[in-house]
Amino acid sequence: MKQFALWISLFLAGVLTACVTASPETPEPQQGQTAATQASNPTESNFGNCANHAQLSIAYIKDGDIWLWVEGTGRRQLTTDGDARDLRISDDGCRVAYAREVANPNYDPSEPDEYDLRLRELEELWMVFSDGTGQQQLASVEQFPRPHDDYQTPGVWQVREDGFMDTTLYHFMWQSGGVKVAFSTAAAFDGPGPFPHQDVYLVDTETLEFTPLLPVGRGGNFVFSPDGAQLAFAAADRIGVLNVDGSDLRDSLFSFAPILTYTEGRYYPHLYWTQTGDLVFALPPVDALAELFLPEGPSSDTILWYLPLDGAPAFEAGAIQTAPLVGWVTVTFSPDLGRIAYLRSMGQPQLYQAPPRELVIALSNGSQESASFSYPQILFGDWAPDNQRFIYSYEEDGLHFVISNVDGDLHLPVDMPSLPQVYSSVLNWVSDDVIALSLAVAGGTELYLIRPNQGVELLDTLGNTHVWTIDATH
């Protein structure tokens, strides 16, 4: 399962793309130690062998409920509570993990608003089977950490006089080919953010065993290895890896200077696993937005790193010139890691204004540029599973999507229906012949299926649903 996002939001002068100590009353299990959840025994599914196993399946949120579309079967509603906020579908398509909004048990409505930074709602982790049965809590907000304000979460101030911060679900993903879900948490308060706790937990969706893997401040944004046996994680200044049973922790395999973002948010490099069990990633220059504020200053390279996990040192595989951070993504590797797509600035930047950009396709070490494309506000969308084709967008009298290939000799415009103003979008090239596209437009969100050389199908209208709350497997 893969998912890459295409973001389009307001940025500077133009439109571009846009977790663990327990509470004082509850002893915290140590790293790698398994603890039972507070939930009851897991609910059995009557779905048998999972009728949509290995079929193209797209899970999405509509009006706060989980829906599932299966090729050849159609769509079905899985939940009816109206409080789902994010989701991930398992590799076999049989389970959907999701973030469920619940009342904040620490919220006190009697407190004066000017002193109350607590949120009325938090998010916790739930699951439902692909037939709509087995709706089950996987991790509750009561199990999440509430670090005291002496834990230095960057940018987070004391929330209340007791000094403890509320915590909400932040990031979660399925184990590759497995039935476990890893997740992390973040500080929750009414203010700018989010501020990840940089923790990692693991929960088994069959036994409900809850295993803390990395405490607050020791983890980061994570990704499973292809065999599901390891987790690699990236903090704002280091990269590490550990086994999913909590053993063989190497929390500082690679260290780097934090990237300046000129916002409250921190930059975490996106990690890619190779089939041989190593890591590749791209690191922008420390001052990644310098050309917007210091247009006369020297430009710096984005470094393409290769990190072996056999004890050998990391090495620079290549260097490229990338545009300032767009949607927090600098470089997107193809599924086989053989090629990269990235945006490069064109012309002389102006103060506080992003220069025009071009989309560049090259080998994964940055050499042998095979294609480049220059359109207004161009953005890379997603790679096809065949590693040859990809989709990108640009804005010129409306939003346009184009399918091309690594040689640049394919130009296949997507014949989209006439759309009102598009605020943001997410693309997921699901299978060789299907691309899922979610568009936030005036009046709500729309979910489309793009079939190259065949046409575009409106799959569903989702109401006021965030565009990123779709996921697919095949």
20 pLDDT above the threshold of 80: no
Please tell me the least confidently modeled range out of 58-67, 227-236, 318-327.
Answer: 318-327
Q: Where are the domains of the chain?
A: 1-18+327-474
Q: 111-135, pLDDT tens digit by residue? A: 665 445 678 889 999 999 999 999 9
CA distance 59 to 48: 19
| Token code pair at residue 439 | 């568009």
354 pLDDT above the threshold of 80: no
User: 6 and 17 in contact (C-beta within 8 Å)?
Assistant: yes
CA distance 230 to 277: 9
DSSP 8-state code for residue 148: B
Backbone angles phi, psi at 103, to 5 degrees: -65, 140
CA proximity to 89, closest of 69, 114, 64: 69
Handedness of CA 55, 414, 85, 8 (dihedral sign): positive
CA 57 to chain centre: 19
Instruction: Give, for 291, the enclosing helix (H) or strand (E).
Output: helix 290-293
| Token code pair at residue 217 | 């401040």
Q: 142-187, pLDDT tens digit by residue? A: 899 877 544 444 444 444 444 567 889 999 999 999 999 999 999 8
Burial category of 104 from C-beta neighbours within 10 Å (exposed 0-12, middle 13-18, buried 19 and up): middle
Please tell me the least confidently modeled range out of 328-332, 365-369, 382-386, 434-438.
Answer: 328-332
Taking residues 84-95, report their average pLDDT. 94
Q: Could you tell me whether strands 302-307 and 315-320 are parallel, antiparallel, or unpaired per DSSP bridges?
A: antiparallel
Q: Provide the 3-class DSSP secondary structure of residue 142.
A: helix
Whether residue 27 has a cis bond before it, omega within 30° of 0:
no
Backbone angles phi, psi at 290, to 5 degrees: -60, -35
Superfamily of 1-18+327-474 according to CATH? Prolyl oligopeptidase, N-terminal domain (2.130.10.120)
Q: 263-277, pLDDT tens digit by residue? A: 777 889 999 999 999
375 pLDDT above the threshold of 70: yes
| Token code pair at residue 278 | 């190593």
Q: What is the pTM of this model?
A: 0.84
